[in-house]
Every structure is written in structure tokens, then in C-alpha cells.
A and B are shown apart, each in its own frame.
Chain A
Amino acid sequence: MSTRSSLATTSTFDASSHWELSSAVSLRDEEFGALAYHHGNRRLVFLKSRDLVNLVRQLSEYDSAQKALDALIDAREHERYLVALSSLASSELLRGG
């Protein structure tokens, strides 16, 4: 398990398209947020805020990640959340399209 999650660049993450939690991922609520586990690549990831957990859970209901951000997250925080989403996408926890 790795705690030093990579701060992947946002360049590979397309916020204008639809994203959802991969079906290979289980989420478990914890006091600090949630733990996410990818059964395929065995990655354990810590989601360290409740808002991020909510966002990730509801992502699939919006046409695009950007629309989900607009609806759920304070605009001043969007940049931080984009970084988080993009690193979740690069560990295959999120699935695009």
C-alpha cells in the first residue's frame, strides 16, 4: 500500500467528459473520509475529505466531471479537486467515457 500518492498532472484528465467510479472499486467510509480499494490493481487509496467522497460517489450522475464540481464543490476549491480526481483517474479508480 502506498501513502505517497502521486500528484499526477491534471493534463491527462479531461474534466469535460463523463467519469465514474470503476466497478472494480470498493469504497469504505471512515471518519476522515473513505478508503478506496481497486480489486484489480490492488491499489488502496485514501480519500481524505468527505466532500471528495461525495463527489466521487456522485460523479456518474453528471454529464461531465466539471458539471459535478460546479454542483457539489465550492468554486475556489475546484483546482484542488481536479488534481485529486486526476490522480484517482491515473490509478484507474475512476473510469472515463
Chain B
Amino acid sequence: MVAENSLRDRFEHGLAAPICLTWELTYACNLACTHCLSSSGRRDPRELSTVEAKALIDEIAAMQIFYVNIGGGEPMIRRDFFELVEYAVNRRVGVKFSTNGTRIDARSARRLASLDYLDVQVSIDGADALTSDRIRGVGSYDAARRAMDHLAQAHFGPFKISVVMTRHSVEQLDEFEALASSYGAQLRLTRLRPSGRGVEVWQELHPTREQNRRLYRWLLERPNVLTGDSFFHLSALGSPLEGLNLCGAGRVVCLIDPVGDVYACPFVIHDEFLAGNVREAGFGSVWRTSELFRSLREPGNPGACASCGSFDACRGGCMAAKFFTGLEMSDPDPECVFGHGERALELRVTIRPISSSDHSTRVPVALALR
């Protein structure tokens, strides 16, 4: 009816409510992945109570937000995890939740399988224990595989296997595809951003330009592989990848963290991108009236990308990736497919900002195997 581009422009001005709302239930986690986007580990004593969490779900339902992406930390660590998930789906708010799988045993798998409107994403970071455990910790891969076995035995249906693309995991695309199909699962690949603890490892772990080119071609041939729209910076290579192909931060994307702070996107947990808190005026008012969100909905300045023939495809890339590598918003994405970001990074001497909120455990955690 209306050309897709003008629809995309509409999205850039924001919507009545987000499409892609992530809600991190807790900062507590029993793993300590080196690239954790939320620097999780320890529970924050200010986390929303069960009553507050339910009030938030009521508001989400009233705003007609169709589903929430629940994450953490490890959301299943919260004692009221099932209570909250059931509360949401009973109000017709779908739940897609990400887990490291360590808390999914036969019983919880059956309980998950019994719920409608629920999607589960189990995270791994390699197609074998050696590759995955380097990032997620010893024993984590086997635990995730046991979780997948339990989900399959409980006839959960097509759950998702979620993988962050690193220099190592990107070499195993076909193995991930085979693993997913062996479970009848759906594969989901997302971009490594220098957010949270990711800032420490991004430099050595982000895919090379050549790997990104191969990833792009691989994804182009597989529109059914989910990506959460995270590789749109690669669309500058040719035909656009599946998705909206824009940075949705504050326009269609949004994060509510465990203490109720609202950020423009899950990858920008930093004071600079903090829009407000749900405890004060409620989520809807933050979404509609925050100064930050309003400014993000203004047309952006294409800056250094203005003369690029691919600007319409890539729009200068990911705000979080720029911010946490010390680039300006008007700079190209650090992984610009034409190498302009690498050049900008070489010339930049600014100190990289680090996340304002860090809940990392002070000592490495040993995964208790059950």
C-alpha cells in the first residue's frame, strides 16, 4: 500500500508503543560470560518486586505490546519466574525468554511446554563445548545441550538456539544449522556488540571483514534464520537482509532493566541512554515523553556516512557499537563493511565509555553441575 521506505521513515519517528521490548528480570546469573551485554552476575537489591513486576505487565498489556523479550542475567533464577511468565501469557502478552539453560530440567521443561504464547531461546556460543565454554565458562555448553534435550523430550516444539557471532562461532555456521535441525529448533544469530563486559572482548572477538562478508551471504540464502535485525550494517553489501534494517533504539526497541530503569535498547546500559524509571511515572509515560527518546526519533545526522552510496541500506549502523568503541554518532559503524569504521577508530583517541551499571561477580563463578 505504501512504499516500504516511507514506512521505515515512520518507524524512525517512533510508535505508540515499542515492538521489541526487552525486560531483564534480574542481574543475577550463575554464569559469567565474557561478552555479557548487561554485565550480569549479582542480583541488585533494588530489583522490581513481584507486585511491581505484575503492575508492569498490566501496563504492557494495556499498551498492547504484543510480546516481551525476557532476559537477564538468568531470568529463571528469580523465584517468581514462572509466576510472572504465567501472569503475562494469561494477559495475552507473549513471552520470548532467553536462558543459559542451566535451570531447565525435565520438570521445568514440561511446565514451559504447557504454556501458550511462550518462546524459549537457549544460548550457546559455539557448536562444541570447547568453543562455547571459552566464552560462557566450563560446563555451560553441556548444560545448554541438556536443556535442549529436556525441551525436546517435553515436546516443547520449535525452541530457539541463540548464538552471538564471534570470530570463532562465525566459522561454525553450518554446524549450528545442523544442530538446530537435529532438534527441530530454529537458529537465531545475533551480533556481538561492545556492550557491558563485551567492551573488554569486542576487539579480539568481533568477526573480521571477510567473515562478515561470508556471514552476510550465508544469511541472505537463509531468510528463516532469525537475527533480531542485528546485522543490518551488513545490508550495505547488497540486497537488504530480512528485517526492518534500521537502528530501532527508542523508536521500536527499548529495554527495561531489573531495577525498572528504561534504556533506549538492551545494548546501551549507560547513563547517556537512560530515559527514566518505571517506578516513577510508569513505562508508558517514559516511552512517550522522555527527552532522550524524543531526540532519538528526530531525523539523524548522517555525518561521515553522508557520501556513502549504501547509506540507505545501513544508515550508519549500530549506535551502541559506535558509542562503546568511542566513536561519535556521526561516525560510521566500527564494523562498516567498507572499512570506514576501522579507519575512524584508528584516528580516535577518546577513552571508551564503560557501562554505568556493573553487576559482575568479583570472582569467577564455578558452574554447579546437576
Interface on A for B, CB 8 Å cutoff?
1-4, 26-32, 35, 37, 39, 42, 44, 46, 48-49, 52, 80, 84
6 A-B contacts, Cβ less than 8 Å apart? A1-B19, A1-B229, A4-B242, A29-B16, A39-B117, A42-B94
Option from B13, B64, B243 in Cβ contact (under 8 Å) with A1 = B243
Residue of B nearest to A49 (CB): B1
Interface on B for A, CB 8 Å cutoff?
1-2, 4, 7-8, 10, 13, 15-17, 19, 64, 66-67, 92, 94, 116-117, 119, 229, 242-244
| A52 x B66 contact (CB < 8 A) | no
Q: Which residues of A contact B7 (CB under 8 A)?
A: 3, 32, 46, 48
Q: Which residues of B contact A80 (CB under 8 A)?
A: 1
Option from A3, A35, A37, A49 in Cβ contact (under 8 Å) with B244 = A3
Q: Which residues of B contact A27 (CB under 8 A)?
A: 64
| A84 x B1 contact (CB < 8 A) | yes
The 5 closest A-B pairs by CB, nearest first: A37-B66, A28-B64, A48-B2, A48-B1, A32-B10
Among B1, B13, B244, the one with the most A-chain Cβ atoms within 10 Å of its Cβ is B1
Q: Which residues of B contact A46 (CB under 8 A)?
A: 7
| B16 x A39 contact (CB < 8 A) | no
| A26 x B92 contact (CB < 8 A) | yes
Tell me, in angstroms, the Cα distance from A42 to B116 when the chains sit together. Answer: 12
Q: Determine how close the nearest CB of chain A comes to the CB of B21; give it in whole angstroms.
A: 13
Residue of B nearest to A81 (CB): B1
Q: Determine how close the nearest CB of chain B comes to the CB of A5; give it in whole angstroms.
A: 9
Tell me, in angstroms, the Cα distance from A42 to B15 when the chains sit together. Answer: 19
Q: Which residues of B contact A48 (CB under 8 A)?
A: 1-2, 7
Q: Determine how close the nearest CB of chain A comes to the CB of B299; give it in whole angstroms.
A: 16
Option from A31, A39, A42, A44 in Cβ contact (under 8 Å) with B19 = A44
Q: Which residues of A contact B1 (CB under 8 A)?
A: 48-49, 52, 80, 84
Q: Which residues of A contact B117 (CB under 8 A)?
A: 39
| A28 x B66 contact (CB < 8 A) | yes
Tell me, in angstroms, the Cα distance from A46 to B1 when the chains sit together. Answer: 10
Q: Which residues of A contact B64 (CB under 8 A)?
A: 26-28
